[in-house]
Amino acid sequence: MDETAIDRAAMERLGKALAFICGPTHPTTIALQAAAKSGSERDIKAARLLFLKLKPGDRRSALAMLDDA
Protein backbone atom coordinates (compact mmCIF):
# COMPACT_ATOMS: atom_id res chain seq x y z
CA MET A 1 0.00 0.00 0.00
CA ASP A 2 1.29 3.41 -0.95
CA GLU A 3 1.96 5.65 2.05
CA THR A 4 -0.07 8.43 0.42
CA ALA A 5 -3.09 6.17 -0.11
CA ILE A 6 -5.58 7.72 2.26
CA ASP A 7 -9.31 8.14 2.11
CA ARG A 8 -10.12 11.67 0.96
CA ALA A 9 -13.20 11.72 3.18
CA ALA A 10 -11.02 10.89 6.19
CA MET A 11 -8.64 13.71 5.27
CA GLU A 12 -11.56 16.09 5.06
CA ARG A 13 -12.82 15.01 8.51
CA LEU A 14 -9.30 15.34 9.89
CA GLY A 15 -9.08 18.85 8.44
CA LYS A 16 -12.35 19.77 10.16
CA ALA A 17 -11.09 18.36 13.46
CA LEU A 18 -7.88 20.39 13.15
CA ALA A 19 -9.88 23.50 12.31
CA PHE A 20 -11.55 23.07 15.70
CA ILE A 21 -8.30 22.30 17.56
CA CYS A 22 -5.75 24.55 15.83
CA GLY A 23 -7.97 27.02 14.01
CA PRO A 24 -9.13 27.34 10.42
CA THR A 25 -6.11 29.40 9.35
CA HIS A 26 -3.48 26.98 10.72
CA PRO A 27 -1.17 25.80 7.90
CA THR A 28 -1.86 22.12 8.64
CA THR A 29 -5.62 22.67 8.53
CA ILE A 30 -5.33 24.44 5.20
CA ALA A 31 -3.02 21.76 3.79
CA LEU A 32 -5.35 18.93 4.81
CA GLN A 33 -8.36 20.65 3.32
CA ALA A 34 -6.47 21.30 0.08
CA ALA A 35 -5.31 17.67 -0.08
CA ALA A 36 -8.82 16.40 0.51
CA LYS A 37 -10.14 18.65 -2.24
CA SER A 38 -7.47 17.98 -4.87
CA GLY A 39 -6.41 14.44 -4.01
CA SER A 40 -3.03 15.08 -5.63
CA GLU A 41 -0.05 13.14 -4.35
CA ARG A 42 1.91 16.36 -3.80
CA ASP A 43 -0.81 17.91 -1.65
CA ILE A 44 -1.28 14.72 0.34
CA LYS A 45 2.44 14.43 1.08
CA ALA A 46 2.61 18.08 2.18
CA ALA A 47 -0.41 17.67 4.45
CA ARG A 48 0.99 14.47 5.95
CA LEU A 49 4.32 16.14 6.66
CA LEU A 50 2.66 19.11 8.36
CA PHE A 51 0.38 16.79 10.36
CA LEU A 52 3.38 14.85 11.65
CA LYS A 53 5.02 18.13 12.75
CA LEU A 54 2.06 19.02 14.98
CA LYS A 55 2.39 18.69 18.74
CA PRO A 56 1.61 15.09 19.77
CA GLY A 57 -1.36 16.25 21.84
CA ASP A 58 -2.90 18.04 18.87
CA ARG A 59 -2.44 14.96 16.67
CA ARG A 60 -4.00 12.68 19.28
CA SER A 61 -6.93 15.05 19.79
CA ALA A 62 -7.65 15.26 16.07
CA LEU A 63 -7.46 11.50 15.64
CA ALA A 64 -9.66 10.99 18.69
CA MET A 65 -12.28 13.25 17.10
CA LEU A 66 -12.24 10.94 14.07
CA ASP A 67 -12.83 7.92 16.32
CA ASP A 68 -15.88 9.58 17.83
CA ALA A 69 -17.46 10.16 14.43
* pLDDT on residue 5: 60
Closest to 17 measured CA to CA, from 26, 43, 5, 53: 26
Q: Walk along the chain (69 residues) and give the pLDDT tens digit of each residue.
A: 455 466 888 899 999 999 999 999 999 999 999 999 999 999 999 999 999 999 999 999 999 998 876
0.95 cut: is pTM over it?
no
Alpha helices, H only, the chain? 8-21, 27-38, 41-53, 56-68
